[in-house]
Amino acid sequence: MDLATRATAPTTATVHRTGRLRTGGAELSWHANRTTTPVVFVHGSFDDHTSWDEVVPLLPPGVTAVRYDRRGHSGSSAPGRTVIHEHVGDLAAVITELSGGSAHVVGHSYGALVALMAAARHPELVRSVLVHEPPAFPLLTGDPVGEAMRDAARSHVVTVAEYIEAGRAEEAVALFAEQVAFGEHWRELFTEPQRAMLAANAPTFLEQFRDPDHYALDLAALAAGPVPITLTVGTDGPPAVRRITGILAERLPAAAVRTITGAGHAPHLSHPAEFAAALAGHLERVRLESVPVPGAGG
């Protein structure tokens, strides 16, 4: 992790702060609301920090919501090739520099993979994680039904990458959103400016696609580690990622699972109140589990 400089002092008792953080050669644009319990939000592919706009106002009192644009997205730069290991390093830097060295982490889709990797590699920084439908497609290997889902999704993603390479970013976003992530009504989730933002961030998706490690997860480290995990899943999301969430629940028996009825792959957009409630429940569970039991330990 390369911390070139501290962009600003860590978040203090202000309603909203913004800044830029230099890390690993990139500059990350960050935003923080409220105070005390720090929660860092990591967005998914094509997206940026604004995807959490409807969730942040619904968080419990006393939560510091730290959001940032992942490198190569919107307000953040991306020097050279962008791979998931750099995103994990960026998240570690955000926690270290902006959250006092420890934070709960919330991740969506690709951001969920980043959050889980950070929990496996930096348990001293990550208090807990709540992740929504991480696309860990290698977990479907050996599952005949799952492999068919994986192959169908990959065929679409290959075409998405080809569109981006050909300069057809808007078509790439539409194909990815409709066939891979959000379904045929995806335009109802995003305003026209947001759809333009997704297209502008398309080149970084191409870098993710080319990264051989972008789906890798160290499940052994997560299962044996101290970081509490909650997996959220929508009832109406893509079948592949719902199946992946089920496999993760089996492989991580200590993880809690929260189903968001009626939601798909983006509950923070379609069902922000329900997603915020899931996060509040997760934080309360973690708090209660960390409270010492009277008389324990002799």
Q: Which residues pair with 42 in a beta bridge?
A: 107
> Is residue 9 situated within a structural domain?
yes
CA distance 287 to 280: 11
> Is residue 163 situated within a structural domain?
no
Pull the structure tokens for residue 115. 């959050």
β-pairing, 16-23 vs 3-5, is antiparallel
pLDDT band of residue 37 (cuts 50, 70, 90) is confident
Position 164 scores a pLDDT of 97
> Is residue 96 situated within a structural domain?
yes
Q: Kindly report the length of the chain.
A: 298
> Is residue 83 situated within a structural domain?
yes
Q: Are 149 and 243 in contact (CB under 8 A)?
A: yes
pLDDT in tens, 156-208: 999 999 999 999 999 999 999 999 999 999 999 999 999 999 999 999 999 88
| Residue in the block written with tokens 């333009």 | 196
Q: Where does residue 40 fall: left (phi above 0), alpha (psi -120 to 50 degrees), or beta otherwise?
A: beta
Position 293 scores a pLDDT of 46
CA neighbours closer than 13 Å in the CB half-sphere of residue 278: 27
Q: Per the confidence metrics, is the pTM higher than 0.85?
A: yes
pLDDT band of residue 27 (cuts 50, 70, 90) is confident
> Which strand ranges, in their side-by-side order, compose the sheet holding 103-108?
3-5, 16-23, 26-33, 63-68, 37-42, 103-108, 126-132, 229-234, 256-260
Question: For the chain, what is the radius of gyration of the CA atoms?
Answer: 18
**Statement: residue 1 has pLDDT above 50:** no
> Is residue 253 situated within a structural domain?
yes
Position 5 scores a pLDDT of 25
**Statement: residue 32 has pLDDT above 70:** no
56, 9, 2, 6: which is closest to 276 by C-alpha? 56
> Is residue 242 situated within a structural domain?
yes
> Is residue 146 situated within a structural domain?
no
Domain count of the chain? 1
Mean pLDDT, the chain, as a whole number? 88
Position 9 scores a pLDDT of 32
Identity of residue 59: L
pLDDT in tens, 82-125: 789 999 999 999 999 888 899 999 999 999 999 999 999 999 99
Q: What are the Cα distances from residue 236, in Å, to 24, 77, 112?
A: 38, 34, 18
pLDDT band of residue 294 (cuts 50, 70, 90) is low
> Is residue 272 situated within a structural domain?
yes
CA distance 105 to 99: 11
Position 18 scores a pLDDT of 77
Position 3 scores a pLDDT of 28
CATH code, domain carrying 12 = 3.40.50.1820
Query: Coil, strand, or helix at residue 126?
Result: strand
pLDDT in tens, 220-241: 999 999 999 999 999 999 999 9
Domain range holding 71?
Answer: 3-140+214-288
CA distance 102 to 70: 19
Q: How many other C-beta atoms lie within 10 A of the C-beta of residue 165?
A: 12
